[in-house]
Structure 1
Amino acid sequence: MTSTRELTGRNAAFAADGFVEGLRINPSGNVMVVGCVDPRVDPAHVLGLRHGEAAVIRNVGGRITPATLRTMTMLGKVGQAHPDGRAAGDWNLVLLHHTDCGMRDLAPFPDLLAEYFEIPAAELDAKQVSDPVGSVRVDVDVVLGTLTGSAFLVSGLVYDVSTGLVETVVAPTPLRDMQLRQVSRR
């Protein structure tokens, strides 16, 4: 077990050697990554992100759910409250799924998954919970159908936990305008 004492010791080392003073609340790279909570797939390490470069949202499967969309909306409001700290240019929204995801272990629990996605259980097949290539395509489509904005690029990547490599499944796709449609809860 990793103890709290070990963690605070690591933090002291970080504060001494890795801390970057003066970071702003908005990501310096205009990047937001949505990824899985799986400890093998830390987006900062997998994608080589620097401290402060990206906002990272992690959930089960790295999926775009109504809750994820609400979180993104809230983060957008925080960013708007700090316009002086926002880098110029388009935002890159990266959806990062991975092989050997525990999400597929949840397939035998349709009621739990239906609640997670806020959909009827009969619609679960469309979510592709057992196929990371299919699921990242589904989630890119959800984002493209929900968020619209020329200042956003959305891409879908799949990380292979056996090789450490990332495959681009959906190349960066621009959104059309900057409106965020209200996400309705079912």
Structure 2
Amino acid sequence: MSAPDFRDLLAANAEYQKDFGLTGFDGIARAGVAMITCMDSRIEPLEMIGLHTGDAKIIRTPGGRVTPDALIGCVLGVHLLGVERILVVPHTRCAMASGEDADVIARVKEETGEDLSGLTLGASTDQRARLLEDVDLLRTHPHVGERATVGGFLYDVDSGALEQLF
């Protein structure tokens, strides 16, 4: 049984199903691309690089970081899903770049009263250093590095520009 909080979304899904045309996709990244980017709702990963549904694997994490789950997605992508190129794409004006973990945790506590001090968030004001760290992790990973080309990019949420940094 559905919770009342989701009725609007289920109604929208019912409309979506009427014209659904993606039946039969096999899950392979047709363009050979995977992208790790932020969960920020201003980012349209496929559109920003001229791709469409079925072309790429999109992995979203806070700040566009290569988290353990994102790394597993990349490993499986290069071994089973046709991924040959991986883009790591954080973005401008990201909350995860507004401070360090302690700053974000303090902000949550101030705004909601919840204490997240037991969590590692991966926040950092040095986006370039974090991006280089994540790109190097993928490039040197024994199950990814020799199977895919990895690039580090920065997406500008105000202009739509994607700049390759690494």
TM value normalised by structure 1: 0.65
Unmatched 5+ stretches in structure 1: 80-85, 118-127, 171-186
Which residue matches 1:148?
Answer: 145
Which residue matches 1:139?
Answer: 134
SS at match of 1:58: strand
SS at match of 1:15: helix
Show the 5 A alignment for 1:21-170: 21-75=23-77, 79=80, 91-107=84-100, 109=102, 115-116=120-121, 129-146=124-141, 147-149=144-146, 151-170=147-166
Q: Is the 8 A contact 2:139 2:149 kept in 1?
A: no
Unmatched 5+ stretches in structure 2: 106-116
Q: CA RMSD in A?
A: 3.0
TM value normalised by structure 2: 0.72
Q: CA deviation digits over 1:145-185, x for unaligned, max 9? A: 22321x31111111111112111212xxxxxxxxxxxxxxx
Q: Is the 8 A contact 2:101 2:121 kept in 1?
A: no
SS at match of 1:39: coil
Q: CA deviation at 1:106?
A: 4.6
Shift in alpha-carbon separation, 1:108–1:133, aligned structure 2, 3 A: closer
Q: CA deviation at 1:39?
A: 1.0
Q: CA deviation at 1:94?
A: 0.8
Question: How far apart, in 2, do the equivalents of 1:57 and 1:113 lie?
Answer: 24
Q: CA deviation at 1:27?
A: 1.4
Deviates more, 1:39-48 or 1:140-149: 39-48
Amino acid at match of 1:22: G
Q: Is the 8 A contact 1:99 1:132 kept in 2?
A: no
